[in-house]
Structure 1
């Protein structure tokens, strides 16, 4: 099977690529590669690729594929808030356009990387795929809009599936430090403080990026009738935590550290506790391999191995929003987050 993976050089994509190759898939990537200067640790597995903005995809780019796995987009709330209009252009409109072109090209499967951010201010009650959307950020709203628009394209020849990933964690060649477990372990290792920026009460489901990748593969391999126009929460029920509980796990993992709350930390409106039993019931071949404690150990050992510093993880190399602002200040990107034509890719 030949698959197109957008965002193949991102945080999750660089983990999904080798897992797809191990399964024998022929994989082609599509990515504007905004974070080409942000590779962490070991290198990225190279595959045939189109270095192209997802907003610029043409039907000719989609010929000959059996499935599209769509990861590309602006990846977090602060980045989404940088320019909400761009978030809608990239995360919403471009995703719907890609789905429409995929359908026109005769591609039968379109697997969208959605998010539990769709539930937003969901409170502490368990939320299923049937629960109401309540997004509170441009990022979350963009994901909701894609699901609503793309689901209307479903027919006998086109099967979209929506994977609502819990908050991701884990080591990747394109590591992100803006994710709660990655961030708290980094603070603990580099400063001895598990630094919490809220009051610690919000609920958040978390899931390892390898398990997100396994969910994509499970959907790709599932019979059509199981995944046609379906949404799945991706994670494990056991890995729903209040932020303060994640902090305690980090404290128990990283030696000689203490929990510290930001002086101005208050309740976070993003609060959701998500039931992930549907994917395990419908797709029993999806077997998550990670839990939060195991993930904290992986992160701690990796940070220790490379000697991570506070300046590195808080600086513009790995912080998505800071990196984009740096590229804008250096005039490598224009205001629409496109590479400037006078900036040669080889020089980046």
Structure 2
């Protein structure tokens, strides 16, 4: 297929794009490249890319594509809480605008990067795609509202699918340290402490970014009637952990480290345990390859390979909210998270 990937230069996009290319798809990216200074390791995929904010997409930008994989947006709860009105503007209105332009341009398939954050304060019972949403953050609410809007747009000519990813982890050229497995492994490697800022009791489903990418590919390859206007929890049902269990896996992997709780560590109302049987039984092309233990080993080896330091880990380069605050402080972004002046000129245009 001819596929447009928004967020092509982000944490997941830089893994998904090469996998799509390997499957024979013709891929174009769309990304404002807020994290162009945040490459950790490896190469950014060299594909045609439209350097553009998702809020500014026009019909002409999406014409000729058979499918859109929409990853772009403010990527987590801290960013969502920092500027809730921009989370609504970018994640919600921007996504709906993109879908509207795609529908006008006769794009047949629209794969939306939703999230298990939709379930929010879900408790310890296993949650299916039919479970009532209970989001507790602006980020979670943005995903819920976009799913609802896209569902209303679904018809014979426009087929959305909602991929509710578990909490991501794994090595990427645009690595993030604000994800639990990546974060705890980095704490252990750089300080000898698996440092927990909550009491460790909340449940989280977690999934490797390569397996998230495999889910998108499986949806692209599936018959339309199987995925039309359907939601899928992305991950493995066996890969649900309490945060303290993830910490223990890190302790067992990183030599000489110990688990330590922050003085202010307390309960986290974000707690959900997710049933992923629907995707396993429906999308026969989706075959996850990773477990948390294996991925923590991968992260540890990568941190050793690059010589990760505490200064890099705690700095703004690989923390999404930290980097956005840095760009704002330097005057490189305006208050609406748009590039300013010369920085915009340097960020847009051309191919990667």
Whether these two folds match at TM > 0.5 is: yes
2:206 is the counterpart of 1:206: yes
Aligned pairs for 1:1-348 (under 5 A) are 1-346=1-346
Tell me the distance in 2 between the aligned counterparts of 1:282 and 1:347: 41
Q: C-alpha offsets along residues 232-266 of structure 1, whole Å, 9 cap, x if unaligned? A: 00000111000000000000000000000111111
RMSD: 1.0
Tell me the distance in 1 between the aligned counterparts of 2:79 and 2:344: 24
Q: CA deviation at 1:22?
A: 0.2
Q: Is the 8 A contact 2:170 2:299 kept in 1?
A: yes
Question: Alpha carbons of 1:345 and 1:302: their partners in 2 closer, same or farther (altered >3 Å)?
Answer: farther
Q: Secondary structure at the match of 1:69?
A: strand
Q: Tell me the TM-score normalized by structure 2.
A: 0.98
Tell me the distance in 1 between the aligned counterparts of 2:52 and 2:346: 15
Q: Tell me the TM-score normalized by structure 1.
A: 0.99
Q: CA deviation at 1:345?
A: 4.4
Q: Secondary structure at the match of 1:152?
A: helix
Tell me the distance in 1 between the aligned counterparts of 2:311 and 2:238: 33
Aligned residue pairs, count: 348
* Structure 2: stretches of 5+ with no match in the other structure: none
Q: Which runs of 4+ in 1 moved over 6 A?
A: none
Question: Alpha carbons of 1:318 and 1:102: their partners in 2 closer, same or farther (altered >3 Å)?
Answer: same
Tell me the distance in 2 between the aligned counterparts of 1:114 and 1:145: 10
Tell me the distance in 2 between the aligned counterparts of 1:147 and 1:51: 25
Q: Is the 8 A contact 2:33 2:347 kept in 1?
A: no
Q: Is the 8 A contact 2:51 2:347 kept in 1?
A: no
Q: CA deviation at 1:347?
A: 8.0
Q: C-alpha offsets along residues 76-99 of structure 1, whole Å, 9 cap, x if unaligned? A: 111111110000000011101111
Q: CA deviation at 1:285?
A: 1.3
Q: CA deviation at 1:313?
A: 1.1
